[in-house]
Structure 1
Amino acid sequence: MHSEVYVPLRVVAENMGYQIPPFTSISDDQPFYLRGESVDFYVGLYEYTPYAAGIPEFAIPLASLIPKGSNLFQ
C-alpha cells in the first residue's frame, strides 16, 4: 500500500514546495470510508501537507485487499 498512499502524498507536497516525513504504514485508527469498490483513506490537515493542499484522500480497490482465491462470505 506504500505506493498507493505515500507516492501521491509526496507528489502533492513537493509540488507545493514541501518535504514530508516518510510514510511507514496506515495506523490502526486511520480515518477511512467505503465508497463503491474501494476503501478511501484520508489524513488530517497539516498531518503531511499544508492546509492549501486540502485533505489528501487515497482510494485502494477492495479487491487488492482480499487474498487471491479467498472467499470472505464462506
Structure 2
Amino acid sequence: MLTAQAHAQPSTSAPPCSAKVDALKEGAALARHEVERIKENHRELVQKLEAGDLSAEEIEGQMAFIPELPQGVRRQA
C-alpha cells in the first residue's frame, strides 16, 4: 500500500513545476503584448478610416489580416 509520503515525492523525469509555470507566464505575457499591438493597430486604422485617409487598396490589404469567423458568427458593425 502506498503512503502519503510516496505520493508527495516529485517525479525525477518530469521538469519542475516552477519551470512550467515560468514558461506559461512568459507565453501569457507575449500574448498580452500581441493583443495590445493588435488593439493599437485597430485604433490607428479606425482613425484613418474615419478621416478618409485609407485608399481602397489599403482597406483590401487590411482585410487580408482579418481571420474568418466560425460558422454562424457575425461581425459587429
Give the TM-score, by structure 1 length. 0.23
Rg comparison, structure with higher value: 2
More helix, by proportion: 2
More strand, by proportion: 1
